[in-house]
Amino acid sequence: MTAEPARRPGLFTRHDGRDRVAVPLKDGVLSALGAAGIQICVLFTALFIVIIAVFVTTHKQPSQNAGDPAFQAAVLLSYVAGGWFAWWRLRRGRPDAFHAFTRRDASTLLYGIGGLIVVNVLTSLLLNATHQTKHVQTGFEHFDLSSKVPGVTALAVTLTVVSLVLVGPLVEEMVFRGLLFGALAPRIGVFAAAIIVAGLFGLVHGDLVLFPTLAGLGFVSALAYARSGNLWTSVTLHALNNALGAGVLVAATLRHTHH
């Protein structure tokens, strides 16, 4: 009798998660919390310094607009600080989390894009059904990059794009998928871990209306990482998703500026 060929672990098995994304449970969870804590502390510290500096130099209350260059600079600084810690911890627990794209990664990316299209279509249907088509994600209700000084507007646009499309997705994927998902998947399975981390990802954004959308993004990103074992796939998906939102924000700003 000939031996049966070994079966490749499926996407939703514990073995698949352990082999491709695993990091030590305690280290992964604590590192994710540490990165988030560093980011929050740096953000509030930077904002406090900005507020004091603006008030001392202009004797006016600084802008509370999320599109203000000073605000965006503080956000970007906090992402860099938290991201540096997450990168350091992830490289210790999973040094191969980032690697060059392979054919499997490319096919995973295509599947992921398809998943995001489904998520966005379902989101549009949900927003229409609940009459929330004009809803703006929490934190961006009064978002405006326009300024009377063209150079300030250009700086605000640049900082926004870098933060939302480049640095933000990279840091969030390291924290949520690389560390947290990587810690849970080998213990409870890829599918269950993807659901839990997606729910947490949606909750931390503080927007109940868009919770299904954000959780859907987190779920698709987690499965993409589990299938490829390459965080660049989930980072790319996240960046593409954010690029759509950033494009809408920037376009609205430019229209407002021209008018």
Give CA torsion, residues 181, 186, 188, 192, to 10 deg: 40
pLDDT tens track for 51-91 = 898 788 877 776 667 778 888 889 999 999 999 999 999 99
Those residues with Cβ within 8 angstroms of residue 55's Cβ, 6 or more apart along the chain or in another chain? 61, 62
**Quick one: tokens of 49?**
């310094």
pLDDT band for position 5 (cuts 50, 70, 90): very low
CA distances from 69 to 3, 63, 64, 79, 234 (A): 65, 10, 11, 15, 28
Average pLDDT value for the chain: 87
pLDDT tens track for 212-249 = 999 999 999 999 999 999 999 999 999 999 998 888 87
Euclidean distance between CA atoms 10 and 26, whole angstroms: 25
Q: Say whether pLDDT at 207 is over 80.
A: yes
CA distances from 118 to 5, 103, 109, 115, 231 (A): 35, 23, 14, 5, 21
Q: What is the pTM of this model?
A: 0.90
Give me the pLDDT at residue 9, please. 54
Q: Say whether pLDDT at 181 is over 80.
A: yes
pLDDT > 90 in the chain, percent? 62
Give me the pLDDT at residue 2, please. 47
Q: Fill in the amino acid letter for 63.
A: S
Range with lowest mean pLDDT among 13-17, 103-107, 184-188: 13-17
Those residues with Cβ within 8 angstroms of residue 85's Cβ, 6 or more apart along the chain or in another chain? 31, 34, 35, 38
pLDDT band for position 4 (cuts 50, 70, 90): very low
Domain boundaries, the chain: 21-258
Helices (H), the chain: 14-21, 25-58, 69-93, 103-129, 150-161, 168-172, 182-188, 190-204, 211-228, 231-258
